[in-house]
Every structure is written in C-alpha cells, then in structure tokens.
A and B are shown apart, each in its own frame.
Chain A
C-alpha cells in the first residue's frame, strides 16, 4: 500500500474517529445513532477505490446510504474526500418501468416514450484526495501544536487557589483575579472568603496528583501528551514528503480516461505479449495511466520514463531521409566511394554482433516473463483482492510489453510486484475480508 494510503487510514483513526456527528446527535438526544468510526470504515474502503458512487460504497461497507452520505459530507468539509454530483439515468427505474409495461403488454414505442420521460437522478461520486489529506493534516497538527505551545508559553495568567477546608464544608476555588479579596491585611496571607480558612496555591502535580488543568504544568502535560500521541502521524507525514500522491483527477477527467482505457483495451486486447513494438503511438500512455487509476490495492509504476518517451517520439516521427545534395557533393571521387564501402562492411559486422546481443536479450526476456507469470500465480492465491490486483498488473504488463520491449522495465515490474505483494500481506486485515465479502 502506498504511504499516502497508510497516512489516510492513520488520520482517520487519529482525528476522525468520533467527530462526524456525535456531538450533534448527543445534543439532539439521539446519541444511540452515533456514527463513531464510520469515517474509519469509509476511508479504509476509499483507499481501495478511486472514484466510486456513494451508494455503491454504502452497499460495500454494509452501512445505510444516509449515514454514509452524512459522514462523507463531513469528511468533505474537512477536506479529506472530494465529491462530485452528476445527473445520471435512473437505470433501476427504467428497468422497473419496462418490466411493468411488458407485463401489461404495452407497445414498445410507448415503453420507450415512458422511459424517456423518466427524470435523470442526481448521483454523488466520492474519492479520497490524498494531496489534500496531507495538507489538511499538516495544517491541523501545526495549528493545534502552535496553540498548545502558545498556551504553555504565554498563558495561563491566572493561578488557582483552593480553600483547605473539606470539600463538604467549603473547598472553594479562586483564581488570582480574586487575590485582592483573599488578602488578609493583618497577616498578609490569603484567607477563604467563605470560611476564613487557609488558602493554598494549586500547583503542578506535586505529591503525585495530576496537574491541575488550567495551570502551567497542566498545559505542559497536555502538550507532552499531544506530542506523543501525534508522533506516528508525524512520522507518516515525513515518509510521505517528497512522494507524489495517487491522483485521480476530477470525476470528469477520470471517466474520460477510463473510457479511453476501455477503448484501448478493446482495440489492442487480442495482441498479447509477443506483439512487440506494434501500436506504439496509439495512446499507450493514457491506457497506462488508467491502469494506475484503477489499481487501488497497490502501486505499480507503469509510467514511461523520459528516455522511453523520447524513444517513442523518435519512433513516431522517424528522421527524414536527407537528400543527396545536402549530404555532400554528388560528384564523388573514387577514393571516397571506397572508404564508404569499407564503412558499410564495418556496419555489417556490427549488425551481426547486434544479432547475437538480441538473441541473448530475447532469452533474458523469456526468462523474466516466466518469472513474472510465476509471481502472478503466487499473488493470485491469497484472496480475491490480490487476484484482481494481479489481473491489473497482467493488463499493465501486457501494455508495457506492447509499448516498449525493454527488459529493464520487465525487471522493474517484477520487483515492484514482489514488493507490493509483500506489502499487501502486511495490511491484509480482517476488516477488509468482511467488507469484501
């Protein structure tokens, strides 16, 4: 799992465990409908998906769609998820209408008319916005830390005093703003206004008592606690720094990319691994991106490096043959032609060497492909989730082999996959299992 996804899960647990509607529900008296931990479940589910329909998500996590909508709305306000509302055809209603009409033997034209009359409904899609999660968390932590630090350093200005009499008798508390009234002018000491008893200053946790909340020591204790508790989040933030977050774009971009990917898959699907170098320029890059988008389980970098792109470019726009007159004089003397011939011989020899190399490379490639297959087989075994992921990779691998037959890339893919598989096993928990079920 990518570090950003780990961060999102961590953050859900650290900051959004209780907050979405608990306070409001408690206020209204509906505390039993408290949806604590919904955020956790939803964010976990979203780390395994890209853009997803809210209703589908609700069905997947076995929660009511209303509850999910509320929680997601809250998370949107907190800049954790991004939502998009679109009008879509109400397919279920269309089917229902059609079924009913067919039962009653209505004509096809009238059925079509009725279906056309059905209004489109507004559907909400939701997606985790990883780069914003990072920003939101950083801001949140920084603000909280600054506030606590300010309180430790500047405030609190008031000191608390407490009457030493029993709590049942008096035990009244005062702040330093009451100091003037507490002062006994004859002795110069503080006395309780109510019972004339002695007053003591409440300090910070001597004799083992926890420090009073509004004193300086209390603030310090709170700051220390805050720092220990947020340490894991900070560590994860540090890991994330410098990595590019998974980006799904807006809903529009995403759907467009997906459509193109399907088109590509349909066009090139039949050509397997062997068809190297074919269909080079046909938007292979886009397809690869989309694979990246759909791969919600782990990250496999399938993008083209700059060199590869340059090569693609070169292949798409081959150098134009230079005309004779540009190369040099058309009237060449004999010596020069001889040297040219010699050069030609040399190049022939080179090509033979090349052929040997190519053979070797082909063998290597063959071996790697077998290795990749083996890993895929192993990856597919643990569960459905992995199987799907592996399938993604198969697609991706095929695409890559198609677009560029470099052994290095294959090696990379294999290594990535091995890593990812190991990672995934670590994070495979019970929750995922029941949810996927």
Chain B
C-alpha cells in the first residue's frame, strides 16, 4: 500500500557546500539518502515529493566544521501488509517456487502455495509452472497477482511470502487481453 507521509531527517553538509545553492544541495543529498531506502516502520520510501521545512544549520561539535540541518519533508512510501493483493513480475522460477518483484520488494511464492493443478516444468533451462490444460503458465518476466501471507522485515529490506492459491489470483493473462484488443480494432 502506498502512503503519503511526513518525515524528518538530519542532513550533515560539508563546509564547501555552504553558500548560494545550499538548499539544492540539501535536497539532492536528502533524495540520495532517502529514496529507495527501507525501514520496518514506513516501508520503502519511493519518492520525496516536497520539503516543508529546513531548520537553521548547526555546526557540529566534532571539530569538522560540518553543519547539521533538520529537514522535514513529504514522501511517498510503499509498505506491504499481510493479506494485501499485489501485482508482481516474476524474476526467477525454480522447483521450490518462484520469486517475483513488486516495485522495490521481492516476494516468494512456494510451490505449496501455487494452485495444485500447476506443475513445474523445465525445458532448455527455461523453468515454468504450467496448468494441466496448458492455458496458463508462470515463467520469467510474466506477471502474476498474489496475496501476501507472510512478511519478514529486516533493517534494509522487506521480504514477503505470497500465495497464488486463492480465487482471483494467478498469472495475469496478457495474451488474452491483447487478443481482445486486437479483435476490437
């Protein structure tokens, strides 16, 4: 789920940046530090949208003459939840299940959580899961819709275990959609 949240952060700037473009530098520094980072509380910070307040710089007392700024900013955060349904792109398929990416986050669907009629198949090192009537398959770069059932939150990463074994979940059949579009024209 995406959130628009207010955050604060301390930015330390070297003396050579003090001057006219200090504000831009601060923004760049903040974006560099924050975007793409992950915390357990807020999830992935996808993008900084706005700076609301920048405090006066305080020269640090560690003798390096650097200055510390407290920056308040708005950001878009991506935080997955248990039970959430996500669209993801498959990155890796093996006999234990498959990995997929939903934006910055990796998730894993084990073979027990793939519907029972889908079987693992490996032809020419191209692994995939195919349904018994061959109509649906999950292979690398395919798109799937899954539900998050387990989460592991580390300092720098969130990893999810997801299931594809429920109604309305599974491979998102793009070919069928493409056919329809073609038919209409």
Contact = CB atoms under 8 A, between A and B. Distances in A.
Contact of B92 (A161, A176, A183, A215): A183
B97 A157 contact: no
B161 A157 contact: yes
Contacts of A157: 113, 149-150, 161, 163
Please classify the interface of chain A as helix (H, G, I), strand (E, B), loop, or mixed, using the class held by over half of its residues: mixed
Contacts of A183: 92, 94, 99
B117 to A, nearest CB: 17
Contacts of B106: 180
B152 interface: yes
B3 interface: no
A201 B96 contact: yes
Contacts, number: 52
Contact of B150 (A158, A185, A189, A216): A158
Given A157-B113, A157-B149, A157-B163, A180 B108 contact: yes
Given A157-B149, A177-B152, A188-B127, A216 B99 contact: no
B110 interface: yes
B92 A188 contact: yes
User: Chain B's interface: helix, strand, loop or mixed, by majority?
Assistant: strand
A179 B110 contact: yes
Name the interface size band of chain B: 20 to 34
Contacts of B92: 183, 185, 188
A180 B105 CA distance: 11
A158 B150 CA distance: 8
A179 B113 contact: no
Contacts of B149: 157
B81 interface: no
B97 A179 contact: yes
Interface string A148-183: 000000000111010000000000000011111001
Nearest to A154: B149
Interface in B134-185: 149-152, 159, 161, 163
Contacts of A179: 96-97, 99, 108, 110, 159, 161
B94 A190 contact: yes
Contacts of A185: 92
Interface residues of A, number: 17
A185 B99 CA distance: 11
B112 interface: yes
B128 to A, nearest CB: 12
A183 B121 CA distance: 19
A73 B58 CA distance: 67
Contacts of B96: 159, 161, 179, 190, 201
Interface in A251-302: none
B112 A159 contact: yes
A183 B108 CA distance: 11
Among A178, A179, A180, A215, the one with the most B-chain Cβ atoms within 10 Å of its Cβ is A179
B150 A180 contact: no
A215 B110 CA distance: 12
Given A158-B110, A159-B96, A189-B94, 20 more contacts: A157-B113, A157-B161, A158-B150, A159-B111, A159-B112, A161-B96, A176-B150, A176-B161, A177-B151, A178-B152, A179-B96, A179-B97, A180-B106, A183-B92, A183-B94, A185-B92, A188-B92, A188-B94, A190-B96, A215-B112
Interface of A: 157-159, 161, 176-180, 183, 185, 188-190, 201, 215-216
Interface of B: 92-97, 99, 106, 108, 110-113, 127, 149-152, 159, 161, 163
The 9 closest A-B pairs by CB, nearest first: A157-B149, A179-B108, A177-B152, A159-B110, A157-B150, A176-B110, A188-B94, A176-B161, A180-B159
21 contacts: A157-B161, A158-B161, A159-B97, A159-B110, A159-B111, A176-B97, A176-B108, A177-B159, A177-B161, A179-B108, A179-B110, A179-B159, A180-B106, A183-B92, A183-B94, A188-B93, A188-B127, A189-B94, A190-B94, A201-B96, A215-B112
